[in-house]
Structures are given as structure tokens and as C-alpha cells.
Amino acid sequence: RLSERLTRVASYVEKGSIVADIGSDHAYLPCYLVHQQIADKAVAGEVAKGPYESARKQVRAEQLQDYITVRFANGLQAIESEDHVDTVTIAGMGGPLIASILDQDIDRLKTVNRLILQPNIHAKAIREWALLNDWKLVAEEILQEDDKIYEILVLERGKMTLSPAELLLGPFLMVDRNDVFRKKWQKESAEWKRILEAIRVAELSKEVQMKKEEIEEKLTIVKEV
């Protein structure tokens, strides 16, 4: 059974898509997408030998070799132009890593019109990347599974503008403000307050002073929302 987290990621893949799942580990997501007849074909990309072998094994075990190509490749280099990939999924990594994977080989996204990204932390880095590269958010989701909180960001081509609050918290998520969202930002705020207190009792260097102001600004944003 697919985890709730990956099931929610899968729910944003449109029927008939050709998907590249980057950082695919066991290829659970592409296997699910093909089995459920959501994706017609898929590529599973992995940069690490162990997870690459697990992905190959899983695809063979499920007899999906005709539909899923597993490639040993760094990031978007797993995508070849003849794949005609229209949807890219990247899940289970930090936001900055996901953004850097997208940035590194951005030309591989030529045929792609939908990105479904699931950062474990720092989703803000993805929103910043999207703003700079003309992708716009069309949906966001926040969920909790096994005591961990995850965000899902769905992007399509287009321009958007985001306020500082929307950049940090997510334009859809901050309107929704569900229980998981509140819990996440209450936890983050508590951590920031702890840092501010530690800074207060320490000697203030210029760098630390700047960090302090940055945290205070974020606290104000979250409090207002």
C-alpha cells in the first residue's frame, strides 16, 4: 500500500500523463501511477546505486518494465526528449534540494507542463524558484503522517506574484489554514522564539543581529496570518 503522502502526490497527476519521478527510490510512485492507469508511462530517476537497484527490482517484480524506465541519473538528466514527459514529481526531499534539482537542468523541462513537488522542509525555496522561472502555483496541500508534516506544491507554467507571507506560508495553505498548517507554524514559531531567547542572552554580532531581525519578521507574518 502506498503511503498517504505519496497517494496525495499521485492525486495531482492527471490521467494519461507521462511522468518522471526524480529521486524515485523504490519506484513506488511510478508503479502505483501505472497500475492505477493514471500514468500511461513513467521514468524513475535515481542518483544513488542502492535506491536505483531497488527501483529496478520493484518495476520487474510488478512486471511494469514495458511502462516504466528506470534510469541511473542525476536529477532531471533522467529525462530524455523522446520520453515526452509532461509531468515531473519530486518527493521526500528538502525544498532547497528540490529547487536545485530543477535549476540544474532546467532545459529538460521543455515538454513538461506540471510539477508536483513534495518538500519535507523549506517549501519557500520552491516558491522562490517558481517565481524566478515563470511557474505558478495551482494547488497546495499540507498533511501529517506518522508525526511528520509534509507539503505538496503543484506548479504549472505561468506568472504569479507572492507577498512575503504567501512566499513563506503558501498562498493556498494560508487561506485554508487547516489544523496541520496551524500546528506546523505554531511549532516553527516556538522554535524561533527559543532561538531569539538564545540570541538575547548572547553577545550580538552583526550577523546574528540580522538573523534576529529575519526571524522577528517571520514571526510577525505567521502571527498575523
Give residues in contact with ligand SAM (CB under 6 A): 6, 22-25, 45-48, 51, 74-75, 91-93, 101
CB of 11 to ligand SAM, least distance (A): 14
Q: Shortest gap between Cβ of 77 and ligand SAM (angstroms)?
A: 8
Query: Hey, which residues does 152 pair with through a beta bridge?
Result: 141
CB of 67 to ligand SAM, least distance (A): 18
Cβ contact 23:91 at 8 Å: yes
* Residue 191 burial by Cβ neighbours in a 10 Å radius (0-12, 13-18, 19+): exposed
Strands 39-46 and 135-145 come out as: unpaired
Tell me the three cell numbers of residue 70. Answer: 528506470
End-to-end CA distance of the chain: 36
Least distance in Å: CB of 90 to ligand SAM? 7
Query: Closest CB to ligand SAM among 119 and 170?
Result: 119
Q: How many helices (H) and strands (E) does the chain have?
A: 9, 7
